[in-house]
A and B are shown apart, each in its own frame.
Chain A
Amino acid sequence: MSQKTEKARKERSGGEFWRVFLGKDFLTAICFAIIVIFVLAALFAPLLTKYSPFDQDLLMMNMGTSPEHPLGTDQLGRDLLTRLIFGARVSLVTGLLSSLWAALGGTILGLVSGYFGGAVNTVIMRFTDTMLSIPPLIFTMVLAAVVGGNLVGISLVIGLSILPGYIRIVNGLVISLRENDYITAANLIGQNKFIIMVRHLLPNCFASLIVIFTMNLGTAIMLESTLSYLGVGITPPTPAWGVMVADGYKFLLNVPRLAIFPGLCIMLIVISFNIVGDGLRDALDPRLRGKL
C-alpha cells in the first residue's frame, strides 16, 4: 500500500513539474518547442536538405526565393536554408560544450570553496573576482585568438568566461546548505569530506544547476556568435550564424535576408533558452526566484 501511495505521489510531482513548467503561460511552451525544433534540425541536418553547406554554385549567386532554394542562396551560391540548419549544429554544440565545461569547473570549485571556506574560499573567490573584472567579450576575444578558430577551443574559452558566475552561485548555495543540521551531523560522525560534498551537498544544488545550465546555454550561444561575427570565433567556411551575419552585411542593401535570417536564428534560440530557464526555475524550485 505504502508503495502505491509513494508511486502516486511521484507521478503527481512529475505531472506537477510539467504543469508548472509548460502550463504557466504558452510562451514557455512555444520556446520549449523552438528549442526542440532547433535540436532536431541540428541532429538530422543532412536528412533535411539535399545540399551541403559548403557546395558553391557560382552561377546561382545571391538568388532569391525559389522552389529549389526556399530561402535563396548566398554570395557564393550556397543554399541559405542549408547553412542555417547546419549553423544550428555549430551554435548548439558550442553552447552545450561551453556550458558543460563551466558546469564541471564551476560545480567543483564552488563546492570546494563553499564547503571548506577559509583560505581555500578566499583564493577561489579572488580568482573569480579577477575574471569578473575583465569584460567577458574582451576576455573571450583575446583568448579566442590564442586557441584559434576551432570549435572545442572556442567552447573552452567561452566556458571559462561563464565559469565565475557558476562558482559564485554554487558557492553561495553551499554556504547556506552547510549550516543545516544534517551536514553538521555528517561532520560529527566523521564522514568522509568528499562523500559529504558529493552525496549530501551536491544533490541539493541540482535544481539550481539545471536552471543556470539552461540560461548559460543562451549566453554561450550569444558569445559564440559575437566572436564569430568579429572574426575571431569559428572560422569560415564552417556555417556559424555569426559569420553568416558578418558576411551578409556586405550585401545588406540588395540581399538583406543573408544577414537577417541568421540573426533571427540567434535571437530565437537565445530568447528561448532564457525563457525556458525561467520556466524551469519556477517549476523546479520557486524559491530561486530573484536569485537566479
Chain B
Amino acid sequence: MRRFILKRIGISLIVIMLISVFSFSLVHLLPGDPAVLALGSEATKEQIRNFREEFHLNEPVVKQYVIWIKNALHGDFGISIAYKRSVISCLSERLPRTIAIGLPALIISSILGILFGIISAVNRGKFIDKMITFIVTLGIGTPTFWLGMIGILVFGLKMGILPLSGFVSPSENFAQYVYYSIMPVTVLSLTLLASVARQTRSNMLEVINQDFIRTARANGLAERSVIYRHALKNSLIPVITTIGMQVRVIVGGSLIVEQLFNIAGIGTLLVSAVSARDYMVVQGCVFLISLFTVACNFIVDVLYGLVDPRIRKAWR
C-alpha cells in the first residue's frame, strides 16, 4: 500500500510540474505585450521598462519560470492588472461563491446519478430503463448555457418564480442563498448527473453478468440481496473514479453557469481575465484549478486502492 501511494504521489508531482510549465507558458503564448496591456498604450518607454524590470519580463524565459514557480510556491501569483490587487486575494474572495454553487451540484448529481443508474440497470430493457436512458442522452447532449437560458426564460421571465441572476452568500442569508442558487445548481447538476447515471448503469450491467452473481442467484439468494449486497458494492468503485474525474466538468460548468447567472466566482474571473489578457490571473487560475483537480484525482485513486486490492496489485 505504501508503495502504491508513493507511486501515485510521484506521478502527481510530475503532472503538477508539467501543469506549471503549461500555465507559465500561457503568458508567452497570449498575443500582446503584457507590459503595454497593463500600462495602456499611452505609457512612456520609461514606465514600460520599469514594469518589465519589476515583473522580470526582460529575463531569459527559463529564469522567468524559476522566479514564477518560486513565488507561486510562496502563494504569490503576481497582481491582477484589471483589479490592481494580488491574484491570490481576487481568487480567495471569489472561491467561496464557486464552491457554494459547485459543491451542492456535485453532491446532488452524484447521489441522483448513482440512483438513476442502478434503477436503470436493474430494470434493463424495461420501460423505466428506456426512459432514464433517453433523459440521460438528452442531459449529455444539451448545452449547459442553453439549458440555463431556457430556465431563465421559463422560471424567471415567464413564470417569475425564480430570480434571473445574482447570488447571496449562504452565511449571510441562507434562505435567500437557496432561493438564488436553485437554478444555477440544477443546471450545473444535470450534465453531471447524466454522465454519472450512464457510468453507473454500464458498470452495474457488467457486474451483473459476472459469474459470482450467477452463483449468488443459483444459490437461491433473494434478488434484492444479490443486487444491493453483491452487485452494487462492486459496481460503485469505478463510479467513484468517474465522480473524481467529473470535478473537471463541474469546474468547466461553473464557468458557464456563473457567466449566465452573473455570479462573481472563479469562472467569471477567468473568462474576463482571458478576454482582457490579464495574464497573471489566467496563469494563477489555470494553475490552481488544475492543481485542485490533480489533488481530487489523487485522493480518489488512493481511496480506490484502499477499497480494491486488485488495483494496488496492478500498480506494483
Beta-carbon contact of B251 and A267 below 8 Å: no
Stretch binding the partner chain, chosen from B177-185, B213-221, B290-298: B290-298
Say yes or no: is A129 at the interface (Cβ < 8 Å to chain B).
yes
Which of A129, A143, A246 is within 8 Å of B11, CB to CB?
A129
Say yes or no: is A137 at the interface (Cβ < 8 Å to chain B).
yes
Beta-carbon contact of B252 and A135 below 8 Å: yes
Determine the interface band of chain B, counting residues with CB < 8 A from chain A.
35 or more
Beta-carbon contact of A142 and B26 below 8 Å: yes
Residue of chain A at shortest CB distance from B250: A135
Q: How far is the CA of A218 from the CA of B294 in the complex (A)?
A: 26
* Dominant SS among interface residues on chain B: helix
Beta-carbon contact of B29 and A133 below 8 Å: no
Say yes or no: is B205 at the interface (Cβ < 8 Å to chain A).
yes
Say yes or no: is A120 at the interface (Cβ < 8 Å to chain B).
no
Say yes or no: is A232 at the interface (Cβ < 8 Å to chain B).
yes
**A interface footprint on B154-181 (CB within 8 Å = 1, 0 otherwise):** 0001000000000000000000000000
Which residues from chain A contact B31 at a C-beta distance below 8 Å?
A: 145-146, 148
Which residues from chain A contact B297 at a C-beta distance below 8 Å?
A: 133
Which residues from chain A contact B256 at a C-beta distance below 8 Å?
A: 137, 226, 229-230
Beta-carbon contact of A135 and B251 below 8 Å: yes
Q: How far is the CA of A222 from the CA of B270 in the complex (A)?
A: 20
Beta-carbon contact of A126 and B14 below 8 Å: yes
Q: How far is the CA of A290 from the CA of B290 in the complex (A)?
A: 28
The verdict on A230 contacting B271 (CB below 8 Å), with A126-B15, A129-B11, A252-B157 known, is yes
The verdict on A275 contacting B137 (CB below 8 Å), with A135-B248, A253-B157, A256-B153 known, is yes
Say yes or no: is A259 at the interface (Cβ < 8 Å to chain B).
yes
Determine the interface band of chain A, counting residues with CB < 8 A from chain B.
35 or more
User: Which residues of A, 218-267, contact B by the 8 Å Cβ criterion?
Assistant: 218, 222, 225-226, 229-232, 242, 245-246, 249, 252-253, 256, 259-260, 263, 266-267
Q: How far is the CA of A139 from the CA of B236 in the complex (A)?
A: 29
Closest CB in chain B relative to A54 CB, distance in Å: 24
User: Which residues of B, 112-166, contact A by the 8 Å Cβ criterion?
Assistant: 137-138, 140-146, 149-150, 152-153, 157
Beta-carbon contact of B143 and A229 below 8 Å: yes
Residue of chain A at shortest CB distance from B134: A27
Say yes or no: is B22 at the interface (Cβ < 8 Å to chain A).
yes
Q: How far is the CA of A252 from the CA of B155 in the complex (A)?
A: 13
Q: How far is the CA of A246 from the CA of B275 in the complex (A)?
A: 16
**B interface footprint on A260-283 (CB within 8 Å = 1, 0 otherwise):** 100100110011001100000000
Which residues from chain A contact B29 at a C-beta distance below 8 Å?
A: 143, 146
Beta-carbon contact of B19 and A130 below 8 Å: yes
* Most-contacted residue by chain A among B144, B146, B277 (CB, 10 A): B146
Say yes or no: is A141 at the interface (Cβ < 8 Å to chain B).
yes
Q: How far is the CA of A259 from the CA of B153 in the complex (A)?
A: 10
**A interface footprint on B239-279 (CB within 8 Å = 1, 0 otherwise):** 00000010011011101100100000000001100110100
Closest CB in chain A relative to B68 CB, distance in Å: 16
Beta-carbon contact of A252 and B141 below 8 Å: no
Say yes or no: is B186 at the interface (Cβ < 8 Å to chain A).
no
Say yes or no: is B66 at the interface (Cβ < 8 Å to chain A).
no
The verdict on A126 contacting B26 (CB below 8 Å), with A133-B293, A135-B293, A230-B271 known, is no
24 sampled A-B residue pairs with Cβ under 8 A: A126-B14, A127-B18, A130-B18, A132-B248, A133-B248, A133-B290, A133-B294, A135-B252, A135-B289, A135-B290, A136-B248, A138-B252, A138-B255, A138-B285, A138-B290, A218-B141, A229-B256, A242-B143, A245-B143, A245-B145, A249-B149, A252-B152, A263-B143, A271-B137
4 shortest interchain CB distances as A-B pairs = A137-B252, A263-B146, A271-B141, A130-B18
